[in-house]
Amino acid sequence: MTSEPRRATDTDPPRTWERRILVLYAHPSPDRSEVNRHLADAAIRTQGVTLVDLYGEYPDYGIDVDREQARLRAHEVIVFLHPLYWYSTPAILKEWQDLALEHGFAYGTEGTALHGKIFFSALTAGGPELAYRAEGFHHFGIRELLNPLEQTAHLCGMVYLPPFALFSARTALEEGRLETHIADWVTLLKALRDDRLDISHAQKLRMLNAELPSLIRED
């Protein structure tokens, strides 16, 4: 990380955007990250976005449930930013879900705090995109592999969007793909912030990257 993560606090300026965005960044070794740390830095520099480095804030996994639930209440878009680990998220994001998404808060008869909020995962995968197909090495598409996150969103009454994904992430820099991916990431965040993303169209896609320009309305 090249700058201090922004975190939601009581002293944050009044909201001036259509939607405020919370990015929960999870990388256990950020100094070794070849892509995610750059995406995190770009998010920090984007107005209307709050980035929380979960491993940095909770090195002992001691999730502050009240703090995390307050952050969720204060934002309209929730994003998991992470590398794909064993077809899922790094461990701290699972711990965060287990603790923060409580019955009576996130789901259940009285658990309506997240209703209507937008959720998706921004991830990096080491393998090529063709490996994440029914006929590929991993046997499933990337959206299928994230079905547990999609069902979590549905249970919590959230609007689920397909992942924003970068494949063959380890070679993205040397192949000249990283800069474009970061630019698309910032474009996506700003479109969500300003309510210029066609949500209904996006929900039908396999990945948000697939047709990003066509998803965004002009000002």
Tens digit of each residue's pLDDT (9 = 90 or more) over 144-166: 999 999 999 999 999 999 999 99
For the chain, what are the domain ranges?
A: 21-215
pLDDT of 9: 44
User: Could you give the CA distance from residue 119 to residue 127 in angstroms, rounded to a whole number?
Assistant: 24
| φ, ψ at 156 (rounded to 5°) | -90, 5
- Residue whose C-alpha is closest to residue 137's, from 126, 150, 148, 121: 126
Chain centre to alpha carbon of residue 12: 21
For residue range 36-93, list pLDDT tens digits in order.
999 999 999 999 999 999 999 999 999 999 999 999 999 999 999 999 999 999 999 9
Task: Return the higher-pLDDT residue of 156 and 6.
Answer: 156
User: Could you give the CA distance from residue 71 to residue 145 in angstroms, rounded to a whole number?
Assistant: 27
Mean pLDDT, range 91-109, rounded to an integer: 97
pLDDT of 210: 84
pLDDT of 10: 38
Task: Return the higher-pLDDT residue of 98 and 172.
Answer: 98
Asked if pLDDT for residue 8 goes beyond 60, the answer is no
pLDDT of 98: 97
Poorest-confidence range of 12-16, 76-80, 157-161, 176-180?
12-16
pLDDT of 34: 82
Mean pLDDT, range 23-33, rounded to an integer: 88
pLDDT of 6: 46
Residue for token pair 């002992």: 60
For residue range 186-199, list pLDDT tens digits in order.
999 999 999 999 99
Looking at the chain, the whole-number percentage of residues with pLDDT higher than 90 is: 75
| Structure tokens belonging to residue 93 | 């994001």
**Class for the domain spanning 21-215:** alpha beta
Using an 8 Å Cβ cutoff, are 5 and 46 in contact?
A: no
Mean residue pLDDT across the chain? 90
Q: Tally Cβ neighbours within 10 Å of residue 116.
A: 9
pLDDT tier at 109, thresholds 50, 70, 90: very high
pLDDT of 11: 37
User: Could you give the CA distance from residue 195 to residue 25 in angstroms, rounded to a whole number?
Assistant: 23
User: Could you give the CA distance from residue 201 to residue 215 in angstroms, rounded to a whole number?
Assistant: 7
pLDDT of 208: 94
